[in-house]
Amino acid sequence: FAFLHGGAGSGCSTVGKVLGALLLKLGVLSTGQVVEVTRKELLAGCSGGDVEARLKKVVRAAEGGVLLLSDAELLKDSERSDRLGEEAVVALGKTLESMKGATEWPQRFCMVLAGKRGDLTKFMTEQPGVASAVFAKFEFSDLAAIDVARILRRIVEENKFQLAKELTDEKLEVLIRRRIARGGGGGSENAAKNVRLAKAMLEEAVSRQT
């Protein structure tokens, strides 16, 4: 059971997806597939009492591989009454408790929680039944501006676009530093950062030309 957290767009979910193949190669898992789910997908169409059955269905699909819960800090809203979210947390705790002390090898599956730095830490503090199952914790740092510039150039090429020849990595870096300084263009804690900033800048450039 792993806990990945970092700034938005820093690669937590992406690394979670890569873990399946890595753990398969190491013999920890038997199949290595990655089943990704968010709160919205897990609780869609659920009413009271349905959540545990839905989670069990998702777990069965992930057996032998990785169950990746993205934006895990959103699973339960701690600021208001959230019955379905509470059911989801309880069901998750039961699932993890049932796996404690398991000696089977390869492992039944690997659970990964990925989310935003701070918010996910708060969620884990509020949910000790889930937190107690964590044995690996990884924190992802925000990318440097030059790294975002290189990623932007790569996704431009992948999307069959071209940057102006005079737009070097160094000039891109300056543009990105300016965007980061003003909050990724959003001016708030939810502003685009890291890989998301690179994608946002490409989308904006394309929209200006269409």
Q: Exposure pattern of 58-71 as b/e (b: 16+ CB <10 Å)?
A: bbeebebbbbbbbb
Cβ atoms of 2 and 131 within 8 Å: the answer is: no
Residue 200 dihedral angles phi and psi, to the nearest 5°: -65, -40
Here the tokens at position 48 are 């009271």
When pLDDT is averaged across residues 68-73 and rounded to a whole number, the result is 92
How far apart CA 155 and CA 161 sit, in angstroms, is 9
**73 C-beta neighbours (distance < 10 Å), count:** 23
Which residues on neighbouring strands pair with residue 113, listed in sequence order? 3, 69
For residue range 117-153, list pLDDT tens digits in order: 889 889 999 998 888 888 888 888 888 999 999 999 9
How far apart CA 97 and CA 158 sit, in angstroms, is 43
| Whole-prediction pTM | 0.78
What percent helix, strand, coil does the chain show, rounded to 5?
A: 50, 10, 40
For residue range 17-67, list pLDDT tens digits in order: 899 999 999 999 999 999 999 999 999 988 878 899 999 999 999 999 999
Q: Is the pLDDT of residue 93 over 80?
A: yes
Percent of the chain residues past pLDDT 70, beyond the cut: 93
